[in-house]
Amino acid sequence: MKNLINRLPFKAVVIFVVSLLVASCSKSDDSEMMVVEAPGQADLVLPQNNTECEVGDVVANMAEVAFEWTEATNAERYDLTVTNLVTQEVTLRPNLMDTQLVVRLERGYPYSWNITAKNAGEETTVSDSYKFYVAGEAGSNNVPFPAILVSPESGATINPVDGKVTLEWDSEMTDSDGDALTFTVFADTVDGNQEPDDAWTGLTETSLEINVESGEVYYWHVETSDGKNVAISNTYSFKAGENTSSIDGKIVTTVQELLDAIEAAVPGENIYVRGGDYSFSNTIEIKKSGTAGNMISLLAHPADDTRPKFDFSAMSESSSNRGMELEGSYWHIMGIDVFKAGDNGMLITGSNNLVEFCTFSECADTGLQLGSGAASNTILNCDSYFNADSSLENADGFASKLDVGSGNKFVGCRAWQNLDDGWDGYLRGADNVTTTYENCWAIMNGYLKDGSLGAGDGNGFKTGGSDNKDLKHNAIYLQCIAFGNKTDGFDHNSNRGEVTIYNSAAYDNGRNYGFSNTNPLELLTIKNSVALGETGSINATTLDVTNNSWMDGIVTSHEDFESIDYSELLAPRQEDGSLPDVDFFHLKADSDLIDKGVDVGLPYNGAAPDLGPFEY
């Protein structure tokens, strides 16, 4: 009995403790676990970004700099990190309980700073970084902030495009002294410190495209100069991966590849022709067609410095030996030089084609001709020159003629020293068609390559004409030029249609304007145009001729112009194919031709349009 009595209290205690533990566990299951939230981001207050900060006491070239930032949510401590951007020396003040601190920093250097917020656990959040400058002695020039390298990131592998990679960095364009900044890029496969290319020095942009070799590792950095001091960035490295091409299409390098590509072309396809000479003895026939939304393109390869030259000199002279016959529609042909075809350099019989930045030279007939119903084609920034047949009587620069369709347009084209006409609009088998010419130049047509006189007609722009002198070729000339042509600058030739000439010019032609009262035009409109020298003959059934250099008492002489040397017009084209910038026939400030025109829908400066093709 005694033993039983002694054991009862012990069992009761055990039962009581177990009950407490069970109750405790049950309450714990129902309660929420304590969560420590991540700290927010501190906002930097002082020093402000990209500024020269105010300093306190200076001792031994060390200045007191005050730092201040806002409280971050859920933060208990802060680390202040300050980096000298020149020496890369780091000053760290850890575990700060306050949101401001004074730190001594060496003067005359740029710095960056940021704040790391810490919570009660192990989580941290880093603020943005600000840059500031601690000025040196009075009168000294501040070292600029070094550039921050952006791309390629260090250690990255970059696939070059056409063998090139673009380096990018971030920097202000002026420093804290207001000095303009320039950049020099160092990039090589050694250490990023080899002598840079001259083109990589003194840059005023924050990017540079460089050539690279696939598989090589490159090192690069940027040095920023204000003309007095230089700041050096970090050095990054990247590996050049597999080269990719910007070309979306088929690339051809041989005559057969070219012919095969043309034969197999489908709407929307691009055919790129590598630079160099391609010799042909037969006509290139283009019969496939694109569509309005998917043209087929035959283009010079954009990466080549040398243009593709289609050489047809192996052809004999014959009316069937054309260089290229474009029967298809919706083609874009660009950057091709067509040379010495046995007849036309290119004959277009299709429609809605664009021929751009091509040349046609020394062919035995017209360089580029449109016929057989060809309509709504645009010939843009093309040149046609030195075309002549063996009889020295035929071959124009360009022609929209015979049985041509309507709506064709020549823009920014030049025709010079073609045996017959610069442009020929003679009709046979078509009537009442319209052709437009914008910013086109006809120069010294009727003369041969060696400058001697040929037996052709020698007009700059032959507007039309027909066998029975009864067909209408309506022609619109906007800001066109005819200079030094053997016969007429602008020629009637029994055209019975309507001709409009706005803001154009003629000089040193056999006759500047040649519109006869025999088989006259139905309507001749000339406005805002110039004739230097004798005007010529201006007749039509109906005339609308006003505001021109030979009217209203205006006296026109070479003193009105910056230059009358039309050799300027034969200067090389600009890189994009547009006409060269010239002084020729640009008006002087005191010219009587300024503001003497009438609004015809073309852009102009001042109170009214000027006379001639170039606005002052």
Read off φ and ψ for residue 430, nearest 5 degrees. -140, 155
What would the two tokens of residue 67 be? 């730092």
What would the two tokens of residue 601 be? 């829908």
Taking CA atoms, 323 is separated from 187, 275, 404, in Å, by 47, 18, 19
Q: 26: part of which helix (H) or strand (E)?
A: helix 2-30
Residue 159 in 3-state DSSP?
Answer: coil
HSE toward the beta carbon, residue 458, CA cutoff 13 A = 21
Residue type, 175: D
Residue 216 in 3-state DSSP?
Answer: coil
Distance of CA 60 to the CA centre of its chain: 55
Q: Look-up: residue for tokens 């590996």?
A: 239
C-beta separation of 562 from 594 below 8 A: no
C-beta separation of 318 from 342 below 8 A: yes
Taking the alpha carbons at both ends of the chain, their separation in whole angstroms is 131
Other residues' Cβ atoms within 10 Å of the Cβ of residue 556 = 21
What would the two tokens of residue 9 be? 């209290």
Q: Name the E strands within 487-553.
A: 488-491, 498-502, 505-507, 511-514, 523-527, 530-532, 536-537, 542-546
Taking CA atoms, 531 is separated from 55, 526, 537, 569, 611, in Å, by 73, 11, 11, 17, 10
Residues noted as catalytic: 462
Taking CA atoms, 33 is separated from 36, 74, 123, 270, 427, in Å, by 10, 17, 18, 65, 95
C-beta separation of 355 from 328 below 8 A: no
C-beta separation of 111 from 134 below 8 A: yes
Q: Name the E strands within 194-326.
A: 207-211, 217-225, 230-232, 236-240, 250-252, 270-273, 276-279, 284-286, 296-300, 308-311, 324-326
Q: Distance between CA atoms of 302 and 56, rounded to whole angstroms?
A: 60
What would the two tokens of residue 518 be? 């025999």
